Amino acid sequence: AQSVAQPEDQVNVAEGNPLTVKCTYSVSGNPYLFWYVQYPNRGLQFLLKYITGDNLVKGSYGFEAEFNKSQTSFHLKKPSALVSDSALYFCAVRDEGATNKLIFGTGTLLAVQP
Amino acid sequence: NAGVTQTPKFRVLKTGQSMTLLCAQDMNHEYMYWYRQDPGMGLRLIHYSVGEGTTAKGEVPDGYNVSRLKKQNFLLGLESAAPSQTSVYFCASRMTSGDTGELFFGEGSRLTVL
């Protein structure tokens, strides 16, 4: 069965430093991968997606993600973190058996210290 | 453009009481979803709908019912609330099976069952 894993419950980074939030996936075919962000007391917002093509995907708010097929990973990155990036980040994969559904990871809390 | 709107935003229930959460979207989306979010468990799909008049079970459907009488509305009902249903509930929508799967979320409804 397909799944996504976010191995870190929390990531701490200093403002101005690069950040990485990790995600690995397990699917049998070609994955459709997504990143969402949730700010406190808000709903999830779409950041970016990988469907096919270039392995480096650019999204909202300066975020990007790198698709690595050999490592089955889709890590979220940003060159220079902002305090306002502090939020909960979710990785998701489209369900191969039911393409109208997304399977979410458990989330990673990003804390950016000033 | 309001997007996805959930009501109520907060509710406290006693065990055994019933209630309905309303989700409304103004984007003419075909698909609608109800998720619950619990600490350390990410988002779990309760029920979903692929069009007006249709509903289907998700990952954790027990104790909940849904209805999609109008395309723009998706109702989630709790017949007899239990403390285990204390959670934050999110509604989401997307266009159609032909798109890549991006979901649009409401801001959440926080439910406490005493």
- The first and second tokens of residue A12, run together, are 């701490």
Put simply, whether B106 touches A (Cβ < 8 Å) is: yes
Q: Which residues does chain B have within 8 Å of residue A99's beta carbon, measured at their own beta carbons?
A: 97, 101
- Rounded to a whole number of angstroms, the distance from the CA of B26 to the nearest CA of chain A is 17
Query: What is the CATH number assigned to the segment(s) A3-113?
Result: 2.60.40.10
- From first to last of its 114 residues, chain A has per-residue pLDDT tens of 788 999 999 999 999 999 999 999 998 888 899 999 999 988 999 999 998 888 999 999 999 999 999 999 999 999 999 999 999 999 999 887 766 788 899 999 999 999
Cα dist. B76→B6, B25, B72 in Å? 11, 14, 14
Tokens 């799967």 belong to which residue?
B101
- Among candidate residues B75, B101, B53, the one with its CA nearest the CA of residue A103: B101
**Would you state the structure tokens that stand for residue A114, as one six-digit string?**
């000033």
* Residue numbers in B near A9 (CB within 8 A): 40
**Domain boundaries in chain A?**
3-113
B43 touches chain A (CB under 8 A): yes
Summarize pLDDT for B42-66 with one digit per residue, the tens.
Answer: 899 999 999 999 999 999 999 999 9
- Structure tokens, B92: 């989401």
